[in-house]
Structure 1
Amino acid sequence: MLQLVILSGRSGSGKSTALDQLEDAGFYCVDNIPIQLLPFLPDALKGKYSRIALNLDIRNISDWQQDLSNIITQLKSVADVVVVYMDSSNQSLLKRYSETRRVHPLSLMQAGLSLEEAIVEEGDLLRPIREMSDLFIDTSELSIHDLNKIITNKVLNKKAGHLRLVFQSFGFKFGIPTDADYVFDARFLPNPHWDENLRPLTGLDRPVQEFLKQHDEVQAFIDKISSCIEDWLPMLEQNNRSYVTVAIGCTGGKHRSVYVTESLGWYFASRHSDVAIVHREQNKHDK
């Protein structure tokens, strides 16, 4: 079946970077295709390409908002479609436009519209496609390297037609992941940080793992989360979900959350066909 990735989101959120990565991975990429041509795309490219990525932006979505949902539903009947919505905070977008000195597309389309007004209005106009998206990526605090990792883990490595189960560790002091479907707080568990020998290590290192294994409440926490996910996973699959992201947080995203996330990921990898493990703060601790 044809694999079709549809990228959308506010201007400046990183769609072009994501599209470039998909192209490097072998996708046939089309930037800003007219929406009225979307229904004809599978037949037009049949036999030529098996993986296609599209970038839809405000320049053509605004006139086709009412039809977009029906068009995507139609495409999902003939292709494995994943809609990825990318966004960033207003402050981040303002900063990026200030640095590049580019003109916002809506400012070109509507005379007299300030940059800040254009950013807010674009979010309102794109709300319908955001609400129908399968994957939401907040790029406010992401480097290009971070974004590339997310695209790799959640899009490129996703098995066509399967629900991808993502287990992600994070640090509460860096903020809760905006794409998380379920969030569990591991900060009550024994903290290896207070052991000077374990402090420089992470939950990927055996000494930290052995420390946490000694405490029954750690395994009990893992078992409770596993049971919860196992109970609801069949219903999530029946609901045609493309992704479910389970986020585990501790203070810094270095020890406890990493160990719990690894344990959950390996447990479900033996039971579910499409599992990914992501450690959001890993780059911070590698420095």
Structure 2
Amino acid sequence: MKLVIISGLSGSGKSIALDTLEDCGYYCIDNLPIALLRDFVDHVMLEGRDIYQKTAIGIDARNQTESLADFPNKLKFIRDKGIECEVVYMHAEENIILKRYSETRRRHPLTTASRPLREALEIEQQVLRPLAVHADITVDTSYTHYHQLRDLLKNRLGEKGKSRLSILFQSFGFKYGIPLDADFVFDARSLPNPYWVAELRGCTGKDQPVIDFLQNESVVREFLRDIGQFIERWAPRFESDNRSYLTIAIGCTGGQHRSVFLVEELSRYFKDKIPNVIVRHRELR
């Protein structure tokens, strides 16, 4: 089991860190009271191993000071339970955080009517010192933009290269309308049509006679290769832009032969490259 504890200064990017880990398959909890950490490990994580195999917890300065001071003992308790635990501490330069709060107009959790933002930041650093001292990873986000921070966290936490993008390959018939949720639409109506072969008319693109017919056409093989190369080139860029879902729709006239065959071939090819591949044939009943 793995537990990642995310802490750091307010405005340093803790929410982005938790969102990134959630996209990587972690069960994420923001602002867990540190006094509940032992009970959470004992009665939630260890009793629900399937759900909490990878967990991330956000801890901030809203916790009581004495609870934060006891963090080293809680960290030892977690690791003594056999749980792999990493502490990530995030910070940024004071002028950068002041600028971020000025732009977002959000309220710092430690500011009060008599305590200005700069003073709240000083108190926050002192309160979170026990976590900063025991951090396995310290991240300075002063000059790091959103995508750089996500990539940095994935690299540091060993999540880089684990694809979370889900691709839906969908066949359809143009005469019934284009799918409205498609990100990319490819038109296969220019390819040879098995419908005009009498013995193939009642088959679909999943039947071997139609498969043999289309595989023997060089233009079909070229069409498949071009779409495959397009997806291989651009899918990683969609994933790096924090996209979780991508729908590739391929249409022919009736959605029975060519588009079905192409979707089946593409899904078979990409299942070895992308773990989350889904197939849907809209017109097949």
Aligned to 2:114, the other structure's residue is in SS state: coil
Residue 159 of structure 2 is aligned to residue 157 of structure 1 = yes
Question: Alpha-carbon deviations, 1:224-270, whole Å to 9, x = none?
Answer: xxxxxxxxxxxxxxxxxxxxxxxxxxxxxxxxxxxxxxxxxxxxxxx
Q: Counterparts of 1:214-233 in structure 2 under 5 Å?
A: none
Which 4+ residue blocks in structure 1 deviate beyond 6 angstroms? none
Question: Alpha-carbon deviations, 1:42-97, whole Å to 9, x = none?
Answer: 33223232000000000015241321110011111121000000000000000000
Q: Among 96, 99, 122, which residue is 2:100 paired with?
A: 96
- How far, CA to CA, are the matches of 2:154 and 2:27 in structure 1? 16
Equivalence for 2:65: 62
Residue 138 of structure 2 is aligned to residue 139 of structure 1 = no
Equivalence for 2:88: 84
- How far, CA to CA, are the matches of 2:120 and 2:41 in structure 1? 33
Q: Please say if residues 8 and 14 of structure 2, whose CA atoms lie closer than 8 Å, have aligned partners that are also in contact.
A: yes
Residue 127 of structure 1: CA displacement? 1.3
Q: Counterparts of 1:173-188 in structure 2 under 5 Å?
A: none
Compared CA separation, residues 23 and 61, structure 1 to 2 (3 A): farther
Question: Alpha-carbon deviations, 1:149-195, whole Å to 9, x = none?
Answer: 1111001438xxxxxxxxxxxxxxxxxxxxxxxxxxxxxxxxxxxxx
Q: Counterparts of 1:273-284 in structure 2 under 5 Å?
A: none
Equivalence for 2:21: 22
Aligned to 1:60, the other structure's residue is in SS state: coil
Equivalence for 1:8: 7
Question: Alpha-carbon deviations, 1:90-145, whole Å to 9, x = none?
Answer: 0000000000001111114xx41011111122112111210111000000000011
Residue 37 of structure 1: CA displacement? 1.1
Equivalence for 1:51: 54
Q: Counterparts of 1:205-284 in structure 2 under 5 Å?
A: none
State the one-letter code of the partner of 1:120. Answer: E
Long gaps (5+) in structure 1: 159-287
Q: Please say if residues 24 and 159 of structure 2, whose CA atoms lie closer than 8 Å, have aligned partners that are also in contact.
A: no
- How far, CA to CA, are the matches of 2:56 and 2:140 in structure 1? 19
State the one-letter code of the partner of 1:41. Answer: F
- How far, CA to CA, are the matches of 2:136 and 2:69 in structure 1? 19
State the one-letter code of the partner of 1:25. Answer: C
State the one-letter code of the partner of 1:131. Answer: V
Residue 34 of structure 1: CA displacement? 1.1
Q: Please say if residues 4 and 85 of structure 2, whose CA atoms lie closer than 8 Å, have aligned partners that are also in contact.
A: yes
TM-score (norm 2): 0.52
Aligned to 1:141, the other structure's residue is in SS state: coil
Q: Please say if residues 61 and 126 of structure 1, whose CA atoms lie closer than 8 Å, have aligned partners that are also in contact.
A: no
- How far, CA to CA, are the matches of 1:145 and 1:23 in structure 2? 15
Q: Among 98, 117, 128, which residue is 1:115 paired with?
A: 117
Equivalence for 1:127: 129
- How far, CA to CA, are the matches of 1:45 and 1:157 in structure 2? 21
TM-score (norm 1): 0.52
Aligned to 1:42, the other structure's residue is in SS state: helix
Question: Alpha-carbon deviations, 1:183-216, whole Å to 9, x = none?
Answer: xxxxxxxxxxxxxxxxxxxxxxxxxxxxxxxxxx
Bigger CA radius of gyration: 2
Compared CA separation, residues 61 and 154, structure 1 to 2 (3 A): farther
- How far, CA to CA, are the matches of 2:147 and 2:138 in structure 1? 17
